[in-house]
Amino acid sequence: MKKVLIIGNGISGITAARFIRKLSTASITVISKESDYFFSRTALMYIYMGHMEYHHTKPYEDWFWKKNKINLIRGEVQRIDSENKEIFFSGQKFPNSSFNIAPNSMTYDTLILATGSKSNKFGWPGQELKGVLGLYSLQDLYKLEELSPNISSAVIIGGGLIGIELAEMLHSRRKEVTMLVRETNYWDNVLPKEEAQMVNQQIRKNGINLKLESELKEIKDDGTGHVNTVITTDQEIIKCQFVGLTAGVRPNTDWLKSSGLEINKGILVNEYLETNLPNVFAIGDCAELRSPEKNRKAIEPIWYTGRIMGETVAHTICDQPVKYQPGNWFNSAKFFDLEYQVYGYVPNKIESPLKSFLWQNKNKSKSIRLVYHQNKNAILGINLMGIRFRHEICDRWLNQGLDINAVVNQIQDAHFDPEFTKKEYNDVKETFQRSNNTKSASV
């Protein structure tokens, strides 16, 4: 019987385990140092805000794993010996775990690395002080909970999705929050300028002190090893009891440097998610594609790509080789009350041979951006702020490379948001007509 070891119990590792079980009778062991059971990482903020409890974030009952003959181990893997197909544990103990202590080592026939990401640190003075924290793991949440009673003011470094989640979390407990963002607008390395400015507006509307074009220089302590001041590169001094480091994440691969794996930013894999080592695969946030698809990044640390990778690698391991095909890019998030969706290719700067049509409502709380090829008129991407569209309709338009005029004419077909009335699509069409000097699209 083939012995499969999976390091990491996030969406990638667990999806791989589930599909390997569907496809085979292999022995499957999932190893995690973060938690006993798989949980939804995207729900961490809702635990802190009191909307959920930890057990609500587990998609499967605890008995699911035994029933499906998936062995779970709590342990920290320290080293891989690929020549002898063996992994070695650090011996770290987990007193709150319901599982037995991990053995000293385990052998494998197939090894899947699904080790996820870790918060970026850029060598800032004071970044190791007490009260300085990222927000990625369950342990980060527990540490934040422990620190919270003594926090009245917080500073968050970085302008990504985790940063705004952390700001909302702290704000929900009436903490004063300042955000330092080095860019001109919030997340404008991803969003076009107009959408980024909408996020600026939303953050400030919710009482967050947003400081743009502002960077961290150092973090100072109070004499006891705990943070009490942030100093910016402009020499501004901000008093605080907590600093959130949310300037992005990076693949969790530091411990693999002597493993023989080829590692760039992440673990390099081919289209079958194979590494350079025999019978060793990498999936999810820690994997870096050698040849990503056009307009896609080599590392895409998001939930749905991790899920697809898990299913893909399961087929390959079970002698049904399948190439990794992520489909059209998709992502969604919330900036406080402002919903965001993106389908396909929407760069932050629209340059030739691309063009885009942007519609915004009067108070700039809702917008639709359609990106298309200026010569072929084929739709390439859709950006939505404050509006939700039907995924299957957007996918169809993108797969067909539908003409931009046809997309605008059919735009009400994608209607999903009950708060966005269909009458507003008239304004979208009329705005498109004026911007392109075309005949009015019919409603």
Query: Which residues, at least 6 apart from 237, have a Cβ–Cβ distance to it below 8 Å?
Result: 229, 230, 231
Mean pLDDT of the 22-39 span: 96
Cα–Cα distances (Å) from 322 to 104, 194, 212, 399, in that order, read: 34, 40, 45, 20
What is the per-residue pLDDT across 124-136, written as a single tens digit (0 to 9) for each? 999 999 999 998 8
What is the per-residue pLDDT across 349-387, written as a single tens digit (0 to 9) for each? 999 999 999 999 999 999 999 999 999 999 999 999 999
Can you say whether the dihedral through the CA atoms of 151, 153, 158, 159 is positive or negative? positive
CATH 3.50.50.60 intervals, the chain: 3-118+250-317, 132-247
Judge if pTM exceeds 0.85.
Answer: yes
Cα–Cα dist 171/256, whole Å = 38
As its CATH architecture, domain 132-247 has: 3-Layer(bba) Sandwich (3.50)
Side chain identity, residue 281: F
C-beta of residue 340 within 8 angstroms of C-beta of residue 311: no
Tokens at 415, concatenated: 């209607």
User: Residue 202: is its pLDDT beyond 60?
Assistant: yes
C-beta of residue 246 within 8 angstroms of C-beta of residue 158: yes
What is the per-residue pLDDT across 38-73, written as a single tens digit (0 to 9) for each? 999 889 999 999 999 999 999 999 999 999 999 999
pLDDT at 314: 98
Residue ranges of alpha helices (H) inside 295-349 are 303-317
Domain range 330-436, its CATH number among 3.40.50.1000, 3.30.450.20, 3.40.1180.10, 3.30.390.30: 3.30.390.30
Question: What's 3-118+250-317's CATH class?
Answer: alpha beta
Cα–Cα dist 273/425, whole Å = 43
Mean pLDDT of the 413-437 span: 82
